[in-house]
Structure 1
């Protein structure tokens, strides 16, 4: 409509037909979604030349219009015709939507967005609206739309004048004024643009020409608005210099797009009662000032009365914070108050500042603020002003509209910054080294700029070379120094402003061995109460010297950690550092050996009476395990720290305490590392009993990851190492684990080991060990198909567990009991036992016990004929076993899933699971799982109709059974006989 009439449909133009048909369509479109009576249409379309046939002329045109339109948009109602169009079908509607959006942006002070919307609306015009179409109605509409365009054009010009785009506007306004010589608003706009561009003579010439035209053609003088602009230019007041104090924003500002957008929106969010005040905080070197200055530049057009900048010197090397009165004087000078007119009284100067800026559109940047009390007196009260504040501290005492904590650069942005600093070619030459440099700089912009500057001025250096220099012990902060300014200097300014107790906490926290720490660990390090430690840590978070990734947990940025560690070595005595380290290790040790935290396993290490340290509330299983999950990697790091510093007793004891959490969390490599460190520590101490304990722990880990055979060697080595007069409880634990591993290879050797372990447990009165060993015995008999004997062992084990406390081993015993019930054909009992096992494993978050419980639950449902449910449960068991990472659990889960898939009629998928288990079991020489895998493959072959292959598989299984697992032989011979009977002659 905003030009010659055009109809578009799905990217192509549709011929609109003859002129009168176009006129009809235009009238209906202008009244879209409104009913037009036939009489109205006849008058509006044919007013200039009404047909002699009257209303009879209308139906043929309506018919032709319907044929032309691609959709059934034209309806006939009882009253007339209506063209039904969606809201976005007309460029008229799009035009008005953009105008409304521009108005909204303008009200909020976002002049850039408003100008863009106005231009978007104006770009919709393609010439004279509805050009060439006849009739008085359309002529009136054409005039209305043209005037609407001219109005919006002038509104956009006013915005551009406010935004300072004077030179660009002159080229637009000269032809516009020539085309409309009577338009005083256009003339005034051109005069303003020329004057602001320093062309006062040209501006006065526009006034003279416009005045002459008005007098000659209309006999009137210019209006008051145009005369006022003329007088202003004559007095040389038209182009006052807007004060812009923003500093250089830097040539390599990258990223921060979302932050800049967020700040710009906050500054443009109009509020009738208060100015938009935005505070940016962040650690030293993170780029707060650069972001503030770039944001101020971005929104500067909204504040045509000035951009003021004050460095409050809160963290400036070698300078004290700027006096508040001095800052206030600077601001008053910035808004044009002459020096002699600035009051000496602070209160009067503050009142003058707020009075002077009232109603002005002014942006104030208060950089490097030390605290809230410095900033508050400098804030304008007028809602037309805006304020950006930067500080290393979280200015919690200020009531601001928006707070932005500026985080480290994202990886991509850090890479882009480094590329700008040193050149794309050097980054591309070694991408891995470049990523390593970004990591060594901790994604901190200041560190990246210093490293980039060193590389740029040393063309012979590679990125790998500077990485090598940064990796030298204690040299990272020294290397990140350039032109007298470095990372350490930036951090020192923040440190120096701390109170002595904050400084001490800052130094001692550098001793944390892992990634983060809670208030109890901090309390142990600093020898304070947890409440005091939390308060001090939170104050360091407020100062942006400490990070808080989640509530109540604290960590350092890597570079700040280096700085704190340097301070600790310089300020603290070696004895004080050793004492703090030991307190932290003691905290970890006592928390690890909290009874509920160890409930999923059998704890046979007595830590005895220990120094008093305060522990968090670990008095429920859930709380204990939640603590362990948060600390698990820190525990491994603590073991490494203890080993590195020769704390051998802490090393092996803490390794055993943390082992359960590392194993359940799937941290296999860390688990093996800490156990190897523990083994070396026991040998340094020449503590053979402790060595046996560690060998037992390594055997349990090895059994889950490498199989039963290497674990047997470790258990036997532990029994050999244990002194003859050593703790019989340690011997019993080793025997119990040995029997558990032997059952898969040689049940005849497994049973004596388990019986001896049970005897010792009964003799010592250790119920938990006895329950464990009886559980293992039940599994042994279950695998031997002696379900009655297995049932007795399981039930006695469970009775003991119920007397003491539930554990992960209890969950495994319940799973074994469920398997026994499956073997006896008692499906309902099996489901009950397996459900209990599943619930207990879930409660204890035992990734090892969970797949066994799900496996037996699936078998029980399969026994009941609920095959689809069985397959679903066994798939969950496979996933759980993979997450737990233990090899036996993974093999058993795949065996169970394969059996259920065969039962449901999917032998093809089942075969893959059996083949995987067979490969793993053969590598481990695990006879039990080898037998079951061959048996499963035979079932797949039978389902596929290959009887001969099934027989071959069963013969393989039978050979294993006859040599190692005789009770299974009869079952396999029966299956072979059934195959032979079913085979064709």
Structure 2
């Protein structure tokens, strides 16, 4: 990550990382994220997010689409899993207030109000200017639906109130002439705003323009009578009368008087009694370079406020080793020291101290009593007696006690005073659930901004500013763990010749990272090892095995498979590790290692290699079983190959009872599954690698994650070669060729599928042979070998007719329909597409049906039948979902724009065209970009928008040339000729026309056929 993720919602939505602007996808994720940003830190129910996206007309799949949008945002936004938190029935955006313009806006307004109340007028004005500078317009530009519009209206009222307050402050500071331009502009936007009119009258009067001030009153009076039928307010009328008589109250405050007022304190705080010189203080020193944690410190100080009644205040801070618990507790203790005049005591309970046993409560009490001046001879020997004396000694006293490094609640409980005037701060790596009456503050890793602040404080602002990108990477590599950041910066400070980039490169090797994060007696690994050693033998073994999990997070079912235990046992173990802060939880039921803890767990591997291999095999069995279950639900017609692992049924699987649950599983786990495929192939689990990759690529294809699809397919081919299973290798090669086609790597795809065809014919696999012929026809057609493509596809169709797989037959008919359309044989193309669509009806092949319907519409448009084309297009749009193959939906929308214009539905056509372009630009391949942009370019040319048409065809030509997509190259050239001719550039038009003609002739395509898709 190159820097903090920053959000701007006061205007059009902007999400940036450093100088990089993130694309958020379509309107659904945009409105979902905007709604969460409008309520930062609060849980927003899914039902409200649905309302924000669709108002009163949500589709049947609205909740599912919202959850998909959340999943997509987590992928697009760095640290999205930590930012977008699932909470109860909704989601919460855990964004640092400094990284959200709305939060900064609210903070500046609050600071301005406080400054004004304290008489700091100039400071208040500056704060208001800073707040208003954040404003770029209404939320989402005013196009966000009723829910967002209502919130935007509230924010607009706050903005206008701030504007009014700033004007008042500027008048109070003696400005008059400088204000006139701003006031006139504001009044032009809000002509009936009486308060601003009054301020303008005062500014004019103080500028020596009394007549204009009086005229301003007459203008607003006439406007109010005409528009609203009312007279000006008494306040405005009184101001008018004051100007008439030159009231001295309207004169500006003299600068000297104003400065004197601002210099005087608004209120003197009451004097506090001096602390007794005999009150003991054993607190460690407060860190001079303490940085960040402002939000946590504020929360800790709030929790430390004295309770009502006679109870002692207890605040417990828990967090993983190295999270800065002690530093935070000590800083808070120093801030609170003057409230506890009878002493501020610190005790290290050594719950997690290398080479030492935890201190017994009786020993700690003896030391504390002696610190308070109790003679040793009066301190009882037994533990109960010491507890009684401790509580009696503190009766009626106000004392602050910091108990650091606590092991458990049993160690802490005897040390709690009984006096209501005392405060106890406890710091522990464990969540001390048995500590009754305590308030809790769980300390996680630092926010991105806080971690950068810590680095700047340690290195110095100048050194940090010299390498901002490397500093951000250092923060990420240290997992924003305070101890790791302090160790890393200490190494840099002790080695002034080292650059931050040099240390980042050393830390980039995960195998060495923990070694690098050691400086003197500070070591991240040593700190983590203390928590690990506090586990029992069984828990330590499980912790090591969890390091085998290839994902960022896991659940109890996957952990149970990995550990070879029941899910309830796995969940209990994970919950214990959560209490120990050895795992984290961002979502209920999901557990994640911190990056450095994962590195530590993986460093422990290798002690029991046979046990570890068996555990990873169990996890692969589990993953294979779950993905098989999901694929059976989502893709019921797919062919089965090979034998599945028989041990998979030994594990409890998640209930993927419908398509929504199955898709949610793949959306959440596809990154982990891809890592599992890679590791399975690397470690010799070739069977798992092939079959798991095959299951995964179905999902990657549907979501258009083509880079991941290509990688998984390549791994599957490598593993299949080692298995020596021809049918498995053939299927893996055809999967690979499919993604190579999508990516425009046609010749590589032909090589892969040609090898597959040879294998199928050698072993008599008729079903696979038909698929290979189909793919060869498709790939050759893209290279302009249309005659060859037609022969392959007609062979494929004939062979498919002998076989039961309707989905594959549908693909072949669709590909043949495309070639017929390119030849100008639109009736044949329509018949082929109709046959494909018929094969898909009544099945779960929604994506295939959309393609068939789109091809049918293409043929009907070629025959000059826009009304008939709209019928299949509207059906395809009903079936379509932007989350599944958005590039295909973009083509459907582009054709719908063309057909709608053909029937005179101009407004609808314009909407379709805009949505198609947005979709293809956000997530389209080179081949599909070329096709869609050529269709949209033709659409805009026919409407007379030649510049836009030319830009689209030029872009399409670039995309097509990049992958040698011959038909779209020729079509782009031909359409560019049409556009240039319409613009009067006949010379350049002729050049493009000749090049198009040569390509069409080479492919055997008649020129009139080139006008259609």
- What does residue 316 of structure 1 align with? 353
Deviations 1:512-566 (A, max 9, x none): 1232223332122111233332332222122110122333322222322232223
- What does residue 766 of structure 1 align with? 805
- Distance, in Å, in 1 between the alignment partners of 2:381 and 2:725 is 79
SS of residue paired to 1:763 = coil
TM superposition shift of 1:463:
5.7
- What does residue 174 of structure 2 align with? 12
TM superposition shift of 1:824:
4.4
- Distance, in Å, in 1 between the alignment partners of 2:400 and 2:764 is 79
SS of residue paired to 1:751 = helix
Asked if 1:546 corresponds to 2:659, the answer is no
- What does residue 78 of structure 2 align with? none
Contact 2:807-2:848 within 8 A present in 1 as well: no
Aligned to 2:688, which of 628, 650, 664? 650
Unaligned segments of structure 2, at least 5 residues: 1-116, 120-168, 177-207, 218-233, 245-249
- Distance, in Å, in 2 between the alignment partners of 1:909 and 1:524 is 56
Contact 2:317-2:443 within 8 A present in 1 as well: yes
- Distance, in Å, in 2 between the alignment partners of 1:358 and 1:81 is 66
- Distance, in Å, in 1 between the alignment partners of 2:643 and 2:603 is 36
- What does residue 584 of structure 1 align with? 619
Distance 1:952 1:566, change over 3 A: closer
Aligned residue runs from structure 1 range 480-559, under 5 A: 480-483=517-520, 486-559=523-596
Deviations 1:124-158 (A, max 9, x none): 4878xxxxxxxxxxxxxxxxxxxx99xx64xx242
SS of residue paired to 2:328 = helix
TM superposition shift of 1:665:
4.3
TM superposition shift of 1:362:
2.9
Contact 1:282-1:544 within 8 A present in 2 as well: yes
- What does residue 56 of structure 1 align with? none
TM superposition shift of 1:661:
3.0
SS of residue paired to 1:512 = coil
TM superposition shift of 1:873:
1.8
Distance 1:260 1:726, change over 3 A: farther
SS of residue paired to 1:568 = coil
- What does residue 252 of structure 1 align with? 289
Distance 1:379 1:547, change over 3 A: same
Contact 2:733-2:752 within 8 A present in 1 as well: yes
Aligned to 1:403, which of 440, 446, 450? 440
Deviations 1:927-964 (A, max 9, x none): 32123323432442354345665565445444433332
- What does residue 158 of structure 1 align with? 271
Deviations 1:876-930 (A, max 9, x none): 2233223433222212221222223223332111210101112222343323212
Distance 1:313 1:713, change over 3 A: same
Aligned residue runs from structure 1 range 1-150, under 5 A: 9-12=171-174, 124=261
Structure 1 window deviating more from structure 2 (947-956 vs 741-750): it is: 947-956
TM superposition shift of 1:842:
1.2
- Distance, in Å, in 1 between the alignment partners of 2:435 and 2:118 is 51
Contact 1:954-1:972 within 8 A present in 2 as well: no
Contact 2:395-2:418 within 8 A present in 1 as well: yes
- Distance, in Å, in 2 between the alignment partners of 1:892 and 1:523 is 48
Unaligned segments of structure 1, at least 5 residues: 15-63, 84-88, 93-120, 128-147, 165-238, 974-985
TM superposition shift of 1:475:
4.3
- What does residue 422 of structure 2 align with? 385
TM superposition shift of 1:91:
14
Aligned residue runs from structure 1 range 601-750, under 5 A: 603-604=638-639, 606-610=641-645, 611=647, 612=649, 613-722=651-760, 724-744=762-782, 745-750=784-789
SS of residue paired to 1:388 = strand
- Distance, in Å, in 2 between the alignment partners of 1:562 and 1:415 is 22
- Distance, in Å, in 2 between the alignment partners of 1:364 and 1:888 is 69
Contact 2:981-2:989 within 8 A present in 1 as well: yes
Contact 1:682-1:691 within 8 A present in 2 as well: yes
TM superposition shift of 1:624:
1.3
- What does residue 338 of structure 2 align with? 301
SS of residue paired to 2:403 = strand
SS of residue paired to 1:277 = strand
Aligned to 1:282, which of 319, 333, 337? 319
Distance 1:545 1:807, change over 3 A: same
TM-score normalized with structure 2 length:
0.69
Distance 1:836 1:350, change over 3 A: farther
- Distance, in Å, in 1 between the alignment partners of 2:575 and 2:699 is 28
Distance 1:13 1:564, change over 3 A: closer
- Distance, in Å, in 1 between the alignment partners of 2:341 and 2:290 is 24
TM superposition shift of 1:625:
1.4
TM superposition shift of 1:368:
1.6
Distance 1:469 1:718, change over 3 A: same
- Distance, in Å, in 2 between the alignment partners of 1:886 and 1:125 is 63
- Distance, in Å, in 2 between the alignment partners of 1:350 and 1:90 is 71
SS of residue paired to 1:310 = strand
TM superposition shift of 1:286:
1.5
TM superposition shift of 1:674:
3.2
- What does residue 215 of structure 1 align with? none
- Distance, in Å, in 2 between the alignment partners of 1:258 and 1:908 is 52
SS of residue paired to 1:548 = strand
Aligned residue runs from structure 1 range 333-372, under 5 A: 333=370, 338-341=375-378, 350=387, 353-354=390-391, 357=394, 360-372=397-409
TM superposition shift of 1:317:
1.8
Higher alpha-carbon Rg:
1
Distance 1:646 1:801, change over 3 A: same
Aligned residue runs from structure 1 range 324-473, under 5 A: 324-333=361-370, 338-341=375-378, 350=387, 353-354=390-391, 357=394, 360-380=397-417, 382-398=419-435, 402-411=439-448, 413-415=450-452, 417-418=454-455, 437-454=474-491, 456-457=493-494
- What does residue 916 of structure 1 align with? 955
TM superposition shift of 1:242:
2.3
SS of residue paired to 1:368 = strand
Asked if 1:268 corresponds to 2:298, the answer is no
TM superposition shift of 1:377:
4.2
Asked if 1:888 corresponds to 2:923, the answer is no
TM superposition shift of 1:718:
2.9
- Distance, in Å, in 1 between the alignment partners of 2:393 and 2:331 is 26
SS of residue paired to 1:842 = coil
- Distance, in Å, in 1 between the alignment partners of 2:915 and 2:381 is 78
SS of residue paired to 2:841 = helix
Distance 1:945 1:8, change over 3 A: closer
- What does residue 820 of structure 1 align with? 859
Contact 2:821-2:1009 within 8 A present in 1 as well: no
SS of residue paired to 1:242 = coil
Contact 1:642-1:650 within 8 A present in 2 as well: yes
Calculate the aligned-residue CA RMSD, in Å: 4.2
Contact 2:900-2:909 within 8 A present in 1 as well: yes
Contact 1:442-1:558 within 8 A present in 2 as well: yes
SS of residue paired to 1:320 = coil
Asked if 1:841 corresponds to 2:880, the answer is yes
TM superposition shift of 1:775:
2.6
TM superposition shift of 1:389:
2.0
Deviations 1:819-851 (A, max 9, x none): 334344554553342233234331873334322
SS of residue paired to 1:390 = strand
Distance 1:240 1:251, change over 3 A: closer
- Larger RCO of the pair (alpha carbons < 8 Å, separation 6+): 2
Distance 1:739 1:915, change over 3 A: same
Q: Say how many residue pairs are matched.
A: 787
